[in-house]
Chains A and B, each alone.
Chain A
């Protein structure tokens, strides 16, 4: 496969990734505070 085709696919995947991340509200980094993500099912006491 040509290098240009590979690069085109690479760019296309990144664009789709950005659209998906923005649509679902994924955060790469989120400000000064630290964020914790719990495994689902952890019961609040």
Chain B
């Protein structure tokens, strides 16, 4: 517990305002909440280390606020505003204290909160661009200087405005490793990103918290919790679909049930003659049926309008196939378009006895020519496979795009 009885009150040596000490002898300086002067509290006369006037500025979470963060009761005892070397970017750091667990920090940069503890025994090997720590790989995110712009409350070292350290941040969301170095020492700390809702709950903040701007350095991706699982599920079913498709394609009978060559005779204005094929049998279960027509047409077309008729004389399905092929020679050389072959596949044709009724028409300029009609039962079909495969991949691809966009926005803030 962090109790009210565990505090000490004295008057500021500079302005006389009352100052409350909450660090239980573990802090060495305090910044006056009235005049911002920094006082040495290890000195029995409360010697003024640095005197500032009219600089008082309260943080978003006031000094003395208690809260429970990650199951630990803490009290805010210090507030520090720091900025980069240019002064363009600044962030808040709150010193939290628990009598049994010691100090921790809460950092707020543009509405992104990070809970930080120092790592006194950090011995992780460092490469230029990454750090390995506790089984995770941290990538270098930024390097620069951090300068103390303002302080309020107690601290465990002799802090003063303008103190500057070299900083390197390495990230592995939701964690961030920070190295702060001066000419005398190097301090490592480990931070974990906290959602604003956790801060509000920890300190019972009723009003709105600072609005988040952009993506935080250690902010986890919003779909981090399920993205990996979704990708695994997608990969599993994509492979399963391929397997199913290969099995059905391999098992497709591709059985020719009718194969015959017919002769086209020019009509010369007469109506097209209807021809009827021999009866053919489609065995076993319902399956697809392919019509294929080939004809040696050159610079012309031949069209077949066919209807499938069952043994009861009912037309079930029909298809129109056109063979058209043109070729020639121009300034670019030889050219050709179309094909001397055309096919159409009927869906779900039940087993039974069938005939084909068809009419053939052709380019009036064509002379008589033979054409070949082949009807094949149960041919491999890739249409449904392509559709289901794409539908399954839509979700992982959408997640991937969302994650890539999120990471892109995160790394826009990087300055290694």
Contacts and interface: CB of A to CB of B under 8 A. Distances in A.
Contact of A31 (B233, B290, B388): B290
B313 interface: yes
Residue among A12, A25, A30 having the largest count of chain B Cβ atoms under 10 Å: A25
Contacts of A14: 237, 241, 388, 391-392
Given A25-B347, A37-B317, A44-B357, A30 B288 contact: yes
Contacts of A15: 237, 240-241, 244, 388
Contacts, number: 143
| 8 nearest A-B residue pairs (beta carbon) | A33-B344, A30-B345, A28-B383, A25-B287, A11-B237, A27-B347, A25-B288, A33-B321
A28 B385 CA distance: 9
Interface of B: 226, 229-230, 233-234, 236-237, 240-241, 244-245, 248, 285-291, 307, 309, 313-322, 342-349, 357, 378, 381, 383-388, 391-392, 395
19 contacts: A7-B234, A11-B237, A12-B237, A14-B237, A15-B244, A18-B241, A23-B248, A24-B287, A25-B347, A25-B381, A26-B347, A26-B384, A28-B387, A29-B383, A31-B343, A32-B322, A32-B342, A35-B345, A36-B319
Interface in A2-45: 2-4, 7-8, 10-12, 14-15, 17-19, 21-38, 40-44
Contacts of B315: 38, 42-44
Contact of A34 (B307, B314, B344, B383): B344
Contacts of B230: 3-4, 7
A21 B342 CA distance: 24
A20 to B, nearest CB: 9
B226 A2 contact: yes
Given A28-B384, A31-B342, A36 B317 contact: yes
Contacts of A41: 314
Contacts of A24: 285-287, 348
Nearest to B395: A7
Given A2-B226, A4-B226, A19 B244 contact: yes
A34 B317 CA distance: 11
B388 A3 contact: no
A29 B383 CA distance: 6
Given A18-B241, A24-B348, A38-B317, A33 B322 contact: yes
Contacts of B321: 32-33
A25 B348 contact: yes
A16 B391 CA distance: 13
Contacts of A33: 291, 319-322, 342-344
Given A15-B240, A42-B314, A35 B233 contact: no
A30 B346 contact: yes
Contacts of B357: 44
Contacts of A34: 319-320, 344
Contacts of B236: 11
A27 B385 CA distance: 10
A15 B325 CA distance: 40
Contacts of A28: 381, 383-384, 386-387
